Amino acid sequence: MDRFLIKGPCKIKGQVSISGSKNAALPILASTILFEKPVIIKNLPRVKDIDTMLNLLKSLGSKIQFLNNKSTVKITKNKKKKIFASYSLVKTMRAGILVLGPMIAKHHKSITSLPGGCLIGARPVNYHLNALKKLGMRYEIKKGYIHAISKGKLKGAIIKFSNISVGATENSIIAACLAKGKTILKNCAIEPEIKDLTDFLRSAGAKIKWIGKRTVQIDGVQSLNSIKYSVMGDRIEAGTFCVIASISNGNLLIKNFDPNLIKTELNLLKKIGSKIKIFKKEIYIQGTNKIKNINSIITKEYPNFPTDLQAQFMVLLCKANGRSIITENIFENRFMHVAELRRLGAKIMIKDNKAFIEGNTEFLGAELMSSDLRASAALVIAAIVAKGKSVINRIYHLDRGYEKIENKLRKIGANIKRLS
């Protein structure tokens, strides 16, 4: 099993190019099940979750052809339709459930495994199932699989989500594209990745319009057109590199990314003392050796602070002058990195969904264990500024969501090596 060897502290400077967004690409790839005609998707990140989704699509009858150094993929339909999404493919990735909506909309039946992914909280699929049921899907769960069917085409409905759910919003939007009549979804998630999905579907001929801040209307169409589409940049990767520059007193130019997508995060980094200049598709960020503490980081749905950057910001606040507080409102198990950060010397106390972080930590290298994707990124950041050697085990979590992160880090000054 691969692990990272990192020798710190490292001085970070140079430039880094942000890859395509994993969280935008996954629903876009799932939605290609709706298409009869070929689709070309560009700027795909080459990460494990994307490979898993492409293998899942292959198992469901799509032909996958890589172009342009594997960051572009052409997806064509085979004549034979398949409706079985197996546990072996869905178990490692939460987004596996996203094939359910398009399969029901297109083939009117599906057998889909309940999904896996990081062990950071319950994340139930009932929001997906309840919404699809209102569109006309009937289902039962047997031996870990959702056996679903619809009598012909799904039918448009008015659906209000009881909780804001990114995945359920995506699944419902995709399914409603081919439904009969009009669907209105209320209390939707509005993450940029969802806007990217709706832009993709609209450019293929879907009739989708936002009619309120969290309300979307979809008028069903007969079929979707062949298109080429480029996936947006990854805002969590961009945010992670901003933290790396900030904590290491670094100088970093972050390219191939729209700064408007992480306004909340950039404003927080300015508060703690980082100097930031933003351009059309670039962020220039200079860290500070006098990091200020913050007591007001609360993870909430977009456009608020994202849970996917909570662990990375926690490492940064360990180096701040004074005590900071982070409140985690999205997932109940999202502090699993804390025990590992303590091994490096962090002083963090957890009470319910709050983390109390004592600043001025001098990290000392240690052997560490990754527990989930974003926790792994946090450990890498801590190891980069720690004194001495750190070994980070179970980095397959990182490979699920960050493209060639060690290569990118080496180019900007990190002393990092992958050990097999």
CA–CA dist 11, 6 (Å, integer): 13
DSSP 392: E
Known catalytic residue at 188: no
For the record, the structure tokens of 394 come out as 């179970």
Q: What is the pLDDT of residue 121?
A: 45
Domains of the chain, CATH where assigned: 3-19+234-419 (3.65.10.10), 22-230 (3.65.10.10)
CA–CA dist 16, 238 (Å, integer): 9
For the record, the structure tokens of 359 come out as 């600043």
Q: Which helix (H) or strand (E) holds 234?
A: none
CA–CA dist 217, 240 (Å, integer): 34
Q: What is the pLDDT of residue 120?
A: 40
This prediction has a pTM of 0.95
CA–CA dist 187, 169 (Å, integer): 9
CA–CA dist 147, 139 (Å, integer): 5
Q: Look at the block and give the residue holding tokens 């502090």.
A: 335
With beta carbons less than 8 A apart as the criterion, state whether 129 and 101 touch.
no
With beta carbons less than 8 A apart as the criterion, state whether 37 and 249 touch.
no
CA–CA dist 406, 415 (Å, integer): 9
CA–CA dist 24, 195 (Å, integer): 9
Instruction: Give 350's contacts (C-beta < 8 A, 6+ positions apart).
Output: 335, 338, 356
Chain-centre distance of CA 100, in angstroms? 19
Chain-centre distance of CA 220, in angstroms? 28
Mark out the alpha helices in 308-392 (DSSP H runs): 310-318, 338-343, 373-385
CA–CA dist 151, 30 (Å, integer): 22
With beta carbons less than 8 A apart as the criterion, state whether 339 and 312 touch.
no
* pLDDT by 10-residue block (mean), the chain, 420 residues: 96 97 97 97 95 96 90 91 91 89 97 71 76 97 94 97 95 98 98 98 98 97 98 98 98 97 97 97 96 95 95 98 95 86 97 96 96 92 98 94 95 97
CA–CA dist 104, 221 (Å, integer): 15
Q: What is the pLDDT of residue 116?
A: 65
CA–CA dist 205, 220 (Å, integer): 10
For 402-405, the CB contacts below 8 A with 24+ separation are 402/47, 402/237, 402/240, 402/377, 403/19, 403/45, 403/46, 403/47, 403/237, 404/46, 405/377, 405/380
Q: What is the pLDDT of residue 94?
A: 81
With beta carbons less than 8 A apart as the criterion, state whether 72 and 260 touch.
no
Selected catalytic residue, list 10, 118, 188, 242: 118
Q: What is the pLDDT of residue 110?
A: 97
